[in-house]
Chains A and B, each alone.
Chain A
Amino acid sequence: MSAPDAAQNSADDIVIDVHGLTKKFDGRAVVRNLSMQVKRGTIYGFLGPNGSGKTTTIRMLCGLLTPDEGEGTCLGYDIRTDTDEIKKHVGYMTQRFSLYEDLSVRENLEFIGRIYGLDKPRAAARAAIARLGLTGREEQIAHELSGGWKQRLALGACTLSSPQLLLLDEPTAGVDPKARRDFWNEIHALAAEGLTVLVSTHYMDEAERCHEIAYIAYGDLLAHGTVEEVIAGSRLTTYVVSARSSEALNRLTEELTGKPGVDMVAPFGTSLHVAGRDAVALEATIAPYRAGKEFEWKHSAPSLEDVFIELMGKARDNFQ
């Protein structure tokens, strides 16, 4: 294989390739200078606090919003000019349930099948109902479905046209753990068939089920890579502190917050996570507390959540 061919192949394997995306609403940048690449067949987790620009980014990728600056391609189509083509090959699941509440499960799916111009919308709807375990609920009005079933119906709707790329915007918000697990199994099954999935989420356990993750806060992409890479890249020193009484932990929280070297203090049940980027400064600050017998200090690897809370704090500092 010659070199240009290899380059061509690697370009084909990049499903989302955008550079410098910026989107402003009323002069306020919601997404700033965002660049990302997503490889074919990966599950790409998109993380960040509320209002960080995740939904806006997803909408720019599927042609629902026009970026103010930056350019890029989605499935090889220009996100500015080829939105009609993108819409044919991308399945988008909105954050809020956006199918017709007054249509039944079957009617919703048949409608979508007809819009995508499927040859046999009825058969496609039947197949989707069977695949998603909605059999027996075909004639139920969408409005009457519980959150978990609505989410399943929405997944069925956005995968109905056999898209090459799925954009899922917080698909599991407000769904119980069992339904979430089933949902993720389905996502992995789809990815195994070669589908690329970009999924935004708040849940750390979901982030850990992604092949790659990106963290966005206040419009900036702060970190990306595999979970291990992101954790390693944070250079956080983390201690888990436990104490006999919760009053003692509360007091420790107040005392440590804002001290040199302490970037994050966060309670986790009966323990406290204390983390900082500057290991030396952190050690110096906590040394007096470690000397006493009141607290038990344990050095630990940072969790993904530690990393994100710390990233978010850093981003807010930069933002203000």
Chain B
Amino acid sequence: MQRPRTTLKGLPMKRVSLALTLVAATALSVQGVSAQTLKTVQDRGMLSCGVSQGLPGFSSPDDKGNWTGLDVDVCRALAAAVLNDPSKIKFVPLSAKDRFTALQSGEIDVLSRNTTWTVSRDTSLGANFTGVTYYDGQGFMVKKSLKVNSALELNSASVCVQTGTTTEQNLADFFKGNNMKYEVIAFGTIDEAVKAYESGRCDVFTDDASGLYASRLKLANPADHVVLPEIISKEPLGPMVRHGDDQWFDIVKWTLFAMVNAEELGVTQKNVDEMLKSDKPEMKRVLGTDGNLGEQLGLTKDWVVRIVKAVGNYGEAFERNVGTGSPLGIARGINNLWNKGGIQYAPPIR
């Protein structure tokens, strides 16, 4: 007689079911979640990748249901390296608050979902960050009609935010530090927060700057909204894996490093076959025509070739998804390579 509560988007049930999965997984399994993620993924023939519920440029499905974005490309690169097929991925859309539970319970093999690397997440969640795919920082978006030019003019503002992120704490710190009052309204998903902002419930919408640009695309009149210049926090976003499986940790970590190294060496999706003929020793090591570095990781010698063929190097993935050529139009900035004025730096492959 009473309708179940799972009617729209299944939000509450999803959360509860995830929590119950975790309880069941930790309470009933004898060894906890399997430590052999590589073998599990290869036996399954499918990589399970946790992504956002739709953040343009990072992870969002297009009109045909294909997932695209920078975070998605990290998963595709991983699938190419591990399964030799960038399409063998099951994407699991997760809200900010459900994401860690999904990783802990083993529902996903890797979490690639614009997640900020912090010490508490790295230590207390039973998970490890494998690197930084995007150096971000928290910013504010307001309506142009408010004529606000700086975040320091936001005293007594109402702020819409997505719950379950580092954003809420940064926000509290920023307003407290600047002796300003504010009201926070926290929503379960980013879409709900943006909708409330658009309807006028809040003066300000806050998120990581990349997320602000992405969300602005979804507004009815993106030109009516402006992202304020202040960046109030450091938000290094990166993929996460479960603690306790060093081999899998290495693979995910070096997949991203391989993309960055490929850019540094000038290996692109187009020229990778040509580069295979190169006799530069460094190039031969990276592309696996010399040595067995890939096999040491538990993969094949040509792992980097597979990755670059699937998604291109880091720079290509960046430009395609979030860069100046994409709808988001974000400049490379600090995400440029270390030798080009940015801070993207990968340890060498040798």
Are A and B a genuine interacting pair, yes or no? no
